[in-house]
């Protein structure tokens, strides 16, 4: 005869079978520096000229900082100079947001003006950028990660990049993009526009250039404009790459066609 049993002995916890599959962010190739698919050019600058009056940590009056130039070996400041923002990134992490897909939040406190992370990807020219946009349109792609710097110089983080590609748009952002010269190379950094607390979402203004249907904004800011960017006209061979901005700013070209 079978042995007597207590019902609880077979009350096995099978809840692990019902666990939902863990959702992962879109795949991409993580890189540490820009990958140039165009000829890499050094910007016109005199390597023998740097800050001449600074002796230790450069202040707001440092001639290099004013021009968004990272201090270099040509400067008279020390190696501990804080005007070399691209040396160390802040701690941030990817999170799934309620209404804006994947995003990024601060994993440490960040002070206003501090460098957070570099915006990196593949550096492409206008022709390649245009071709990729049309390819994405035909494939039904809805997420774009292109940041226009100047003519024939767009950083595309669609396929290769870092966590900066996950920063969402906001009509009231706490971050901003700045274009810097680092040892003659143009690089784009994400900087804090205000003090940021741990766990706070990191956002910047995409300055969306929209060529197709209106794209609703879900930033939730009190001054939210309702839709991303401004309406522009487009023909297939003549893309407009956004409004002109001051030299030290990068122009995020998030484009829907």
**Domain assignment present for 53:** yes
Rg of the chain (C-alpha set): 23
75 plus 166 within the same structural domain: no
122 plus 201 within the same structural domain: yes
Asked whether the beta carbons of 34 and 149 are under 8 A apart, the reply is: no
223 plus 154 within the same structural domain: yes
108 plus 201 within the same structural domain: yes
DSSP state of 27: P
Give me the percent of the chain exceeding a pLDDT of 70. Answer: 73
- The helix (H) or strand (E) run that includes residue 168 is strand 168-169
* Over residues 72-81, mean pLDDT: 80
140 plus 232 within the same structural domain: yes
143 plus 221 within the same structural domain: yes
pLDDT, position 65: 83
pLDDT category of residue 16 using cuts at 50, 70 and 90: very low
**Domain assignment present for 253:** yes
Domain that holds residue 78: 49-83
pTM for the model: 0.78
DSSP state of 136: H
**Domain assignment present for 43:** no
pLDDT, position 249: 52
Q: In this structure, what are the phi and psi dihedrals at residue 118, rounded to the nearest 5 degrees?
A: -85, 140
158 plus 221 within the same structural domain: yes
92 plus 169 within the same structural domain: yes
78 plus 102 within the same structural domain: no
**Domain assignment present for 212:** yes
- The helix (H) or strand (E) run that includes residue 112 is none
pLDDT category of residue 242 using cuts at 50, 70 and 90: very low
- End-to-end alpha carbon distance in the chain: 75
Asked whether the beta carbons of 252 and 169 are under 8 A apart, the reply is: no
All residues at 6 or more sequence positions from 151 whose CB lies less than 8 Å from its CB, including other chains: 126
158 plus 100 within the same structural domain: yes
For residue 212, what is the domain's CATH number? 2.170.270.10
């Amino acid at each position: 005869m079978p042995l007597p049993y207590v019902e609880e002995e077979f009350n096995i916890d099978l809840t692990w079978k019902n666990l939902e599959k863990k959702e992962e962010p879109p795949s991409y190739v993580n890189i540490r520096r820009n990958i140039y698919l165009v000829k890499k050019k050094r910007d016109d600058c005199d390597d023998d000229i740097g800050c001449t009056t600074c002796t230790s940590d450069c202040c707001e009056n440092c001639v290099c900082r004013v021009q968004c130039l990272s201090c270099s070996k040509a400067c008279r400041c020390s190696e501990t100079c804080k005007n070399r923002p691209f040396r160390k990134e802040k701690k941030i992490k990817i999170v799934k947001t309620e209404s804006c897909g994947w995003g990024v939040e601060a994993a440490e406190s960040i002070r206003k003006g501090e460098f957070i992370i570099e915006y990196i990807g593949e550096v492409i020219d206008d022709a390649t950028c245009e071709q990729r946009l049309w390819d994405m349109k035909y494939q039904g792609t809805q997420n774009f990660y292109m940041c226009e710097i100047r003519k024939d110089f767009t950083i595309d983080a669609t396929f290769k990049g870092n966590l900066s590609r996950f920063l969402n748009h906001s009509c009231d952002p706490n971050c901003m993009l700045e274009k810097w010269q680092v040892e003659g190379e143009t690089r784009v950094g994400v900087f804090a526009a205000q003090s940021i607390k741990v766990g706070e979402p990191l956002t910047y203004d995409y300055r969306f250039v929209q060529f197709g249907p209106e794209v609703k904004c879900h930033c939730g800011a009190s001054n939210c404009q309702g839709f991303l960017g401004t309406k522009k006209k487009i023909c297939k061979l003549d893309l407009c790459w956004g409004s002109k901005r001051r030299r030290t700013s990068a122009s995020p070209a998030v484009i829907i066609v």
